[in-house]
A and B are shown apart, each in its own frame.
Chain A
Amino acid sequence: MYGFEITQKVKEMTQEQLKITEGALYPLLHTLEAEGLVEASTENIGHRIRKYYSLTKTGKKQNAVVGKEVQTFVQTLQIFFKPKLT
C-alpha cells in the first residue's frame, strides 16, 4: 500500500473514527523502514512515481506479537468496563 492509500483505508475501516494525519504517517513509515519492519518499492504511475510499502518477514512477526499485545490490553480493559465490549 502507498501512503495516501493507508490514510484512506484507515479512515474507511474505522468509519472515520480514526484519522491518520500525513505529518504522523510518513515519519512512522520511514522509521519502520529504517528498522527493517517494512520495505519500500516504487512504481511509475502516469507522470509520477509511487512508493509502496509492505511488511518484511520481521515486520510480519512483529505485527503478530503487537496484535496479541493489543488484544490482551483490550481484554484487560473489558474487566473495568461493563457490559463487555464485542
Chain B
Amino acid sequence: MLTQNQIEHLFDFCEKHFVRHYDLQVELVDHLANAIEAQMKNQTDLTFEKALENVYHNFGSAGFGPLITEKRIAAEKQGRSLFWKFFKEHLRWPKVLLLFMIIAIAYSLFKFDSNFFRFFYISIFAGSFLIELYAISNFTRTISSTGKKFLTADFSRGSGLFFVLLFVPFCSDIFDKNFPPPLHSTWHVLFSSTMLAILVVITIADMQVLISLKNKLRQDYPNAFA
C-alpha cells in the first residue's frame, strides 16, 4: 500500500500533467496507485518513481490529454442529459399541471386587465432570472469553498440562464403600446403565456440539476466538502 506522501506525489504528478480537476485526479491517482502497487509487488527492487514512469507510459504518447478531453465531453453530455431528464419530468402528469396553471393564470389576468397580465409576466420573468442567478452563484460558492475544481461542475451548469436570456424577445413586446396585436390577440397571449410557463419549468429544471450535482459531489467527495 502506498504511503500518504506517495499519494500526494501522485496528485502533484496529475497536476503537472494538466489534470486540474479533482474528480478526474482522484480517479487517476487510484489507477496509478493500483498499477504501481502491482508492479512493485512483482518486482520488489523497483522504485516508486520508476514504477510511476512505467505506468504513465501505458497511457500512450499523449499522456492524460485524450482522457481530459473525453471527460469534458462526457461531463457536458451528462449535464445536458440531467437537464432534459428533469425538464421532461415537468411535462408529465401531475407536474404538467404547473405549466397549465401558469398559462391559465396569465390568460385569465389578460382577460381581466392587460396591465395585470404585464405585471404578472414581468414578475415571473424577473423572478426566474433572479432565482437562476442566485442558484448559479450559490452553486459556484459551494464549489469554490472546497478550493478544488470539478469537471462535472464546470461543464454542466448554467444552461438555464442562457434560456432565460433567450426569452427576452418574447417578453419585450408586451411593453409595446399595441400589445397584443389586434389580429389573433388570443393566440398571441396564449403563445406568450406558454413561453412564460416553459421558462418557469426551465428554471426549476436547472435548479434541480445544480442541486443534484451538488449532492452527488458531496456524496462522492465528502473530504473535499468537509
CB distance from B159 to the nearest CB of A (A): 15
CB distance from A2 to the nearest CB of B (A): 7
- A50-B60 contact, Cβ under 8 Å, with A4-B35, A34-B74: no
**Contact across chains for B62 and A23 when beta carbons are under 8 A apart:** yes
A42 to B225, CA, bound (A): 14
A12 to B78, CA, bound (A): 32
- Does A67 lie at the interface of the complex (its beta carbon under 8 Å from any beta carbon of B)? no
In A40-61, the 8 Å CB interface with B consists of 40-42, 44-51
Set A27, A34, A40, A49: member contacting B30, Cβ < 8 A? A49
- Does B7 lie at the interface of the complex (its beta carbon under 8 Å from any beta carbon of A)? yes
In B70-84, the 8 Å CB interface with A consists of 70-71, 73-75, 77-78, 81
CB distance from A30 to the nearest CB of B (A): 4
- Does B97 lie at the interface of the complex (its beta carbon under 8 Å from any beta carbon of A)? no
**Contact-residue size bin, chain B (C-beta under 8 Å from the other chain):** 20 to 34
Set A3, A35, A36, A42: member contacting B220, Cβ < 8 A? A42
List chain B residues, Cβ under 8 A from A45. 30
- Does B4 lie at the interface of the complex (its beta carbon under 8 Å from any beta carbon of A)? yes
- Does A72 lie at the interface of the complex (its beta carbon under 8 Å from any beta carbon of B)? no
By beta carbon, the residue of chain A nearest B23 is: A51
Contact with A along B52-70 (1 / 0, CB 8 A): 0000001110100011001
List chain A residues, Cβ under 8 A from B59. 21-23
CB distance from B31 to the nearest CB of A (A): 5
CB distance from B153 to the nearest CB of A (A): 14
A59 to B137, CA, bound (A): 34
Contact with B along A16-27 (1 / 0, CB 8 A): 000001110011
- Does B34 lie at the interface of the complex (its beta carbon under 8 Å from any beta carbon of A)? yes
List chain B residues, Cβ under 8 A from A22. 31, 35, 58-59, 67
**Contact across chains for A4 and B58 when beta carbons are under 8 A apart:** no
- Does B168 lie at the interface of the complex (its beta carbon under 8 Å from any beta carbon of A)? no
**Contact across chains for A26 and B30 when beta carbons are under 8 A apart:** no
Q: Can you list 27 contacts pairing A with B, beta carbon distance less than 8 Å? A: A2-B30, A2-B34, A3-B27, A3-B31, A4-B30, A4-B31, A4-B34, A21-B58, A22-B35, A22-B67, A23-B67, A26-B27, A26-B28, A27-B66, A30-B74, A31-B77, A33-B74, A34-B75, A34-B78, A35-B81, A40-B220, A41-B220, A42-B26, A46-B1, A47-B3, A49-B26, A49-B223
Residues of A within 8 A of B (CB): 2-5, 8, 21-23, 26-27, 30-31, 33-36, 40-42, 44-51
